[in-house]
Amino acid sequence: MRAGTMSRSFVTVSRSRSEAVQFRAILAATYPVFVVAALLQRLRPGPAAPIGPRRSVFGEARAMALSAIPFAFMG
């Protein structure tokens, strides 16, 4: 019984590493798209600037990517 428990933990670790690699690959592939989206958001005329500190374009793109990518892993 102990051997079965150990093999399951290795599978779980392997799966989580695989998902981490997939997450990073998707982040790297989509980040440029989100940079363009953040740039367009800044250039678009609209309401006044938000109150408080403002993220850089790259920080905003990273935040958008990190909030959107987890939906790829749902299901």
Q: What is the pLDDT of residues 37-50, one digit of tens each?
A: 999 988 987 776 66
Distance CA 4, CA 13 (A): 14
pLDDT surpassing 90 at residue 34: yes
pLDDT of 17 reads 87
pLDDT of 58 reads 95
Amino acid at 21: V
pLDDT band at 75 (very low <50, low <70, confident <90, very high): low
> Residue range 60-67: average pLDDT?
93
